[in-house]
Amino acid sequence: MIATFITLYFSAHDWQGAAFTLSLFSVGFICIRLVLGNTITRYGGVPVSLACFVIECIGLLIIWQASSAWVAGIGAFLTGSGFSLVFPALGVEAVKQVEEQNQGTALGTYSAFLDLALGLTGPVAGWVAGYYSLGTIYLLAAAVVVMAFILIFRVYLQQRAALRRA
């Protein structure tokens, strides 16, 4: 969303600095991976992904409601920070669900579905932007992140219940 539509979003608001905002997204993404990448091993993929979803959602909502390029930049930084560990955190959980000899296949399938999701997101978001507004795509993206949070929170509750039974 950020890489595809932020320049159009900035242009629609007559703001300067879309490239800098893309850089802020990237800095958030890279810094969190470098500094907090070990949290997945320490706390588990599910709790880490839940925290990431919250941060990503806040970032998307900030972009949606941004009143200036700087505010949108803060939103992009938070979005990148939140998004950074979602893929590896959930990938760890996906791989844990299968036997060791099938983990490569599980990771490949998981990666393929991410590619599919990213491939579909652009055209769907473009349709939404054309039908509604560019800002609406960030609201819609935040809603999708909330749905992902709910799904993974259910997994979290199931894992906790299983631990209590054991």
pLDDT tens across 99-141, in order?
Answer: 988 889 988 999 999 899 889 998 999 999 899 999 999 999 9
User: What is the pTM for the complete model shown?
Assistant: 0.92
Q: How far is CA 101 from the centre of its chain?
A: 29
Q: Which strand (E) or helix (H) includes residue 42? A: helix 39-43
The domain made up of 2-165 has a fold known as Growth Hormone; Chain: A; (1.20.1250)
Residue count of the chain: 166
Closest CA to 64 of 146, 9, 125: 9
pLDDT tens digits for 135-161? 999 999 999 999 999 999 999 999 999
In the chain, domain spans: 2-165
